[in-house]
């Protein structure tokens, strides 16, 4: 059953990337939120697409019953990686610290971690904060597949 679920998720990611390619996107960034962060990282580790150079993780979590943990998976990816987490929850902070330490152990040159404060009761402001942080990371860290894409897009 887990294998079938994993296949469905990978097929959805494949479809999204195929659509971006069909639209002739000059840059493709994979963003995963919650368990989607695990699936995005797992997809990149398994498939290793040559035209995807950026990964964004938001409130990353490993779905129950799946492995490897993100602190083993993410540092091995040779991609510009933005890891955005909410520092309010002790479990999230500890998982983020494990990912940061693992990225330092492998000397991951383009792993950036950003701690955010959850704003319960003010979802609009919280979403705006996340949007601004993601845009800021993208403007500083985006990598194109080829130099010609940088000048054309």
CATH class of 2-145: alpha beta
Query: Which residues have CB under 8 Å from 48's CB, separation 6+?
Result: none
Determine the Cα–Cα distance for residues 60 and 70; give it in Å rounded to an integer. 8
DSSP letter, residue 89: S
Dihedral in degrees, nearest 10, Cα atoms 47, 29, 117, 109: 70
SS3 label, residue 15: helix
Rounded CA gap, 38 and 103, in Å?
Answer: 16
pLDDT at res. 145 = 42
Q: Is 115 left (phi over 0), alpha (psi -120 to 50) or beta?
A: beta
| pTM for this predicted structure | 0.87
Residue 150 has pLDDT above 70, yes or no: no
Torsion sign, CA atoms 18, 140, 116, 70 = positive
Percentage of the residues of the chain whose pLDDT score is greater than 90: 78
| 147 has pLDDT over 90 | no
pLDDT at 143: 56
Cis, peptide link before residue 68, omega less than 30° from 0: yes
- Order across the sheet with 28-33: list the strands: 28-33, 52-58, 80-86, 111-116
pLDDT digits (tens, 9 = 90+) for 100-129: 999 999 998 899 999 999 888 889 999 999
Q: Is residue 32 helix, strand or coil?
A: strand
Predicted pLDDT of residue 48: 93
Residue extents of the structural domains in the chain: 2-145
Quick one: what percent of the chain has pLDDT higher than 70? 93
DSSP string, 48-62: --TTEEEEEEES--P
d(CA 71, CA 113): 13
């Amino acid at each position: 059953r887990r294998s079938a679920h994993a296949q469905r998720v990978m097929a959805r990611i494949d479809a999204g990337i195929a659509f971006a390619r069909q639209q002739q996107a000059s840059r493709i960034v994979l963003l995963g939120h919650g368990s989607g962060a695990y699936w995005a990282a797992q997809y990149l580790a398994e498939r290793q697409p040559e035209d995807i150079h950026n990964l964004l993780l938001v409130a990353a979590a490993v779905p129950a019953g799946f492995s490897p943990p993100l602190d083993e998976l993410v540092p091995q990816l040779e991609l510009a990686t933005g890891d955005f987490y909410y520092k309010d929850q002790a479990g999230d902070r500890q998982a983020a610290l494990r990912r940061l330490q693992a990225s330092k152990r492998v000397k991951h040159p383009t792993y950036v971690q950003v701690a955010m404060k959850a704003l319960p009761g003010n979802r609009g402001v919280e979403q705006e904060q996340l949007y601004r942080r993601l845009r800021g990371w993208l403007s500083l860290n985006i990598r194109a597949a080829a130099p010609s894409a940088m000048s054309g897009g």
